[in-house]
Amino acid sequence: MNETAKKCIQSGRCVIGIELGSTRIKSVLINEAHEPIASGSYDWENRLENGVWTYSLEDIHNGLQDSYADLAKNVWEQYDEELTEVAAIGISGMMHGYMVFNDKNELMVPFRTWRNTITGEAAQKLSELFSFNIPQRWSVAHLYQSILNGEEHVADITYLSTLACYIHWLLTGQKVAGVGEASGMFPIDSATLDYDTAKMEQFDALIADKGYSWKLADILPKVLTAGQDAGVLTKEGAAFLDVSGKLKAGIPLCPPEGDAGTGMVATNAVAVRTGNVSAGTSVFSMVVLEKPLSAHHEELDMVTTPSGEAVAMVHCNNCTSDLNAWVNLFGEFAACLGADVDKNTLFGLLYNKALEGDKDCGGLMAYNYFSGEHITGFNEGRPLFMRCPDSKFTLANFMRTHLYTCLGALKTGMDILQKQEKVQIDCITGHGGLFKTKGVGQKVLAAAINAPVSVMETAGEGGAWGVALLAAYMVWKAENETLAEYLNSKVFASMQSETIQPDAADAAGYDAFIEQYKKCLSVEHAAVENFKF
């Protein structure tokens, strides 16, 4: 037993981070050295109901409680201690989306997640109005599309929330958002670190004829930056999170942040010319800018770090879902042969096999589009694999193709940032499920963006650890200490990481693959139009 960790738990000096991700709700407990010492999780999946990707409130509530209970169980099993008091808590979740409540605090329509591509008309009109890219998944796009659709619930909105902000509200009673999370709801003014008031006035004028009783500022959460007070765990919040009743009220919470911001924190990517790539069910890159971009690009989103620095983001809806499905198929085949192969071994075997493949994948092609992909112009998706009769159809090339296509849409956006805007990147840090097999996803990403890629020993903890760090920063920072300074000096100074430089042959092979990828998008369009089940 780790006695130091046990004493930290006994003294209430640990910090909890909880992130509601696409496929897992992860809870992490860190000590005063910012090291994870216990964890819990709950697996879940979004559902397509009536054409909308969603999670029910029951899913959200039960999943959060089960993940926390699993953390508390892990603490008890490791340290023979009850989890009753901690120094701080942080909540993170999938960014964007649409959760709207009335004056009775009732959710009026099912939660519309980031994965939906049903707001095309609104996103286009708002982007033109603001001269600023408003992606389909942003909360304001969902709001305006609901208005364009004539949905009756809009008149009764008293609160427009994201998933993380909703959970924070349940636990503290505070309707607030971290600036990074807020920047995925509505454009942020980097000078004021608040919503862009000129654009808010434009929006209010746009919908003035509807006669709603609210203005946009009335229904959005208040914007806070990293380190600011965001309320404390109420008695009701404590009872909700910990159904056993052991967790005490009064614990401070940091501003709720989206998974993009917590990923940047977890990878120490909050300084200029650095960035990160989070690769799991979805994939997105975040690059902290030295200067504003020269032009508006609909493929690039402008958001911020949790402390407000400008960030260019490339967000793609699809990453590992199709790859995971193929690995599971191989697992079924192994089981038919009587082989007992655990998932980690299977993933490691197949991922490493991909490195033996041809640099350009030998003439194989795949699209991992479980859902639409705005960067390449799709409102729906169809997972698709194809080859020519004379393609080099080997297991190595097959796996390499599926790893390449996981990052295909991302590369399309990153090429705009790097090749058109000439943005310089010193290093990208990778985190998320794609990087769990040592070296493989890292090498593929380095080829895709032709830049060094680092992976830290905490990569598997991801955003839950990142939001725990934000909570720790709030309670343990020195006076006037910035988030970047805190991370550099107190968290990552001795952190082990491995960096892979891009291989010229790999990068050339990926470039050849992506040219074919772009040419074959018409095949994917045909599949969407004609393949109905």
C-alpha–C-alpha distance, residues 453 and 279, integer Å? 13
The CA-based angle 56-61-63, given to 5 degrees, is 90
How many angstroms separate the CA atoms of 315 and 298, rounded?
11
Closest listed residue to residue 301, CA positions, set 425, 416, 450, 176: 416
**What's residue 8's pLDDT?**
95
Question: What distance in Å separates the CA atoms of residue 91 and residue 27, rounded to the nearest whole number?
Answer: 9
**Residues 6 or more apart in contact with residue 167 via CB below 8 angstroms:** 18, 20, 60, 64, 91, 93, 256
Q: How far apart are CA 117 and CA 40, in angstroms?
A: 32
- How many independent structural domains does the chain possess? 1
Digit-coded pLDDT (tens) for 18-57? 999 989 999 999 999 999 999 999 999 999 999 999 999 9
pLDDT of 441 over the 90 cut: yes
How confident is residue 419, by pLDDT bands cut at 50, 70 and 90? Answer: very high
Residue 159 and residue 166: Cα distance in Å, rounded?
10
pLDDT-above-70 percentage for the chain: 99
Residue 512: inside a domain, yes or no? yes
The residue with tokens 């649409």 is 98
Q: Which of 402, 410, 398 is nearest to 368 (CA)?
A: 402
When pLDDT is averaged across residues 479-508 and rounded to a whole number, the result is 93
- Predicted model pTM: 0.81
pLDDT of residue 431 exceeding 90, the answer is no
Confidence band, pLDDT 50/70/90 cuts, at residue 213: very high
Q: What is the per-residue pLDDT across 151-171, written as a single tens digit (0 to 9) for each?
A: 999 999 999 999 999 999 999
Residues 397-408: pLDDT tens digits? Answer: 999 999 999 999
- Please indicate, yes or no, if residue 393 is contained in any of the structural domains: yes
Asked, for residue 325, whether it belongs to a domain, the answer is yes
The answer to the question of residue 392 being in a domain is yes
443 domain residue, yes or no? no
Q: Do residues 17 and 90 lie in contact, with contact meaning Cβ atoms separated by under 8 Å?
A: yes
Report the pLDDT value the prediction gives residue 533, as an integer from 0 to 100.
Answer: 74
The pLDDT confidence band at residue 442, using thresholds 50, 70 and 90, is very high
Average pLDDT, rounded, for the chain: 95
Percent of the chain with pLDDT over 90: 87
In a domain, 326, yes or no: yes
Q: What pLDDT was estimated at residue 445?
A: 97
Model confidence band, residue 379 (pLDDT cutoffs 50, 70, 90):
confident
Examine residue 58 and state whether it is found in any structural domain, yes or no. Answer: no
Q: Is the pLDDT of residue 109 over 70?
A: yes
3-class state of residue 25 by DSSP: strand
- Give pLDDT tens digits for 470-485: 999 999 999 999 999 9
Q: For residue 278, is it within any domain?
A: no
pLDDT confidence of residue 1: 65
Interacting residues of 48 by C-beta distance below 8 A, sequence separation 6+: 54
Q: Assess whether pLDDT exceeds 90 at residue 494.
A: no
Q: Which domain holds residue 335?
A: 321-406+505-530
